[in-house]
Structure 1
Amino acid sequence: MSPCRSKPQVYSGCDDGSRSGRLRTGGRQIMCELAGDGVYLSQFVTGTSNGGRTAHPGGDRWRWESRIFGGAYDHAPAEERPVYGARRLPCRVGWHSGFRLTVEHLRRHPGYRGQEYVALGAEIAVDGLLDPRIIGAAAGTGRYDSQGLKKVRHCVARFGSSLAGEK
């Protein structure tokens, strides 16, 4: 069995109680699992998606995989389905310091994802700043559309600067 197909082990060294990370089915933060287990899991295992949540029998993702893999995994358990999206598995997984973006800088780029996401970013910002923790906290409130927050996150990733070396 390859390292990327091994059973995930319990890892609890990541939860700071903020619940700001994306959670998979079962409540564990996805990035904590990646860092602790070093195993890249499919959407069928995590129950999450960066787009539509269609990784279930009969869903769009399931039908697409059925077509491209010739039905080979149609009846396979989630843990045995193909894992892709990372290069040359097994892959080393690690943390980086993330990015942050000022609302001032965000306002310079309304054409990237749209003015409504600039406004959303400004609304959820803390002290004029956006970072993954802030976006995650906004998601945790349930008051904001997850697809809108995803587009704000795109802006932070595209125009933000590294937090490396900051205290």
Structure 2
Amino acid sequence: MHPREPSGHTVLMNAGHPLASPRRRALEHVTSLSSGAPLNAELRITLNFHPDRTVAGRPILERLCGDGLYVSQFVTGTSNGGLTARPGGDRWRWESRIFGGAYDGAGPAERPVYGALDVRRASFGAAPRFGSAHFRLTADVLASATFCYPDSATEPVQFGVAARMSGLVELAAADRRDALDDYIEAQIHVPVRLDQDVEALVLDPAYRGTAVEAAAEKLPCPVEWHEGFRLGVDELRRRPGFRGSEYVELGEALAVDGCLDARIIGDAARAGCHAEQDLKKVWHLLARFGRAPRSHAADLPVDRGRPLLSGRAGNRRGGYPPGVDGSFTPPQATEARGCPLLS
């Protein structure tokens, strides 16, 4: 399995070759910092995002349907995390450090997009702090990705690539970070094409029968459903120390029939009556404490698995064998199609 250029052709890595592509230089640089055995080819990268948000006033899924690509915050100017994707900003500086300056002179469309490696095969994706939905990418994308632990915002010193990854997986498995922070960050160095690189869009059931589901069905990838995030106000009131009592109070005010879910927070975000950062903290409370009991990432084992194979693996959901991914698809779920937001 080799990394591919944007055209779809594979690239043989050669450390002595003068490289023209920032993407290739970035991959080579991180490869030189990585160690260990190859990655299990049955694992997947996921891209978590909020499927009901807008970009420049346009619904994100509608935009994705038109563009056919998942792009970085350097292109969109929006983010589910921090928004510092500008020359000299934090994201620019982190990328310069991690990738050896490979992208310092690159255009916005050349820069990587961000996700996480789903080492626990969690039905809600590897990094739900960034959103209730996720795209699950194909096995072919693994070779065009780099990885770090912890998140690049912490200026990590441990890195991996698909061919040299076991050291990073073991490091993450031994750490005891909070469940919202316990993910291996992935940087994908090729355009993520919805019709070729996405196995499925996985949605929260709060969006059944909504415009989100209707828009998702127009995308060129399957749609699946996870168990959903729901948090009762009684449990919410017990968590003032997690993000702050003011966000517990805001969550209480937003709750419908005594419960919070992803759709309620999304409706509040589009209404524009609350600061985005405040709603992000409310989402963190829901994502951390509102998962179905079997869905807590910290309770699922890390897959140290089998080594990287050539080509696609597995026989279900594009590579997750039956019974090992911790997922649940409601009986009425449609197997159709899906798409992303921004990193």
- TM, length-normalised to structure 1: 0.72
Structure 2: which 5+ runs fail to align? 8-49, 118-141, 146-196, 205-227, 293-327, 333-343
- Tell me, yes or no, if structure 1 residue 58 matches structure 2 residue 111: no
| Residues 93/44 of structure 1: CA separation in 2 closer, same or farther (3 Å cut) | farther
> Of residues 255, 262, 266 in structure 2, which corresponds to 1:132?
262
Q: How does 1:72-151 map to 2 (within 5 A)?
A: 72-87=102-117, 88=142, 90=197, 92-97=199-204, 98-151=228-281
The range that moved more, 122-131 or 62-71, is 62-71
Deviation at 1:69, TM superposition (A): 2.2
Which structure has the bigger radius of gyration? 2
Map Cα deviations across residues 36-90 of structure 1 (whole Å, 9 max, x no partner).
Answer: 94x5432212322233311022222112212332322122222211233333365
Task: Determine which structure has the larger strand proportion and give its number.
Answer: 2
Which of structures 1 and 2 has the larger relative contact order (alpha carbons within 8 angstroms, sep 6+)?
Answer: 2
The one-letter code sitting in structure 2 at the alignment partner of 1:96 is L
Report the count of equivalent residues.
152
Aligned equivalents of 1:48, 1:147: Cα separation in 2: 13
Aligned equivalents of 1:50, 1:22: Cα separation in 2: 10
Aligned equivalents of 1:26, 1:134: Cα separation in 2: 19
The range that moved more, 82-91 or 53-62, is 82-91
- TM, length-normalised to structure 2: 0.38
Task: Determine which structure has the larger helix proportion and give its number.
Answer: 1
Tell whether the 8 Å contact from 1:20 to 1:140 is kept in structure 2 after alignment.
no
Q: How does 1:15-30 map to 2 (within 5 A)?
A: 21-25=52-56, 27-29=58-60
The one-letter code sitting in structure 2 at the alignment partner of 1:95 is V
Considering only aligned residues, what root-mean-square deviation do their CA atoms show, in Å?
3.4
Identity of aligned residues (%): 55
SS of match in other structure, 2:231:
strand
Map Cα deviations across residues 103-139 of structure 1 (whole Å, 9 max, x no partner).
Answer: 1221122222221111010111122221111101111
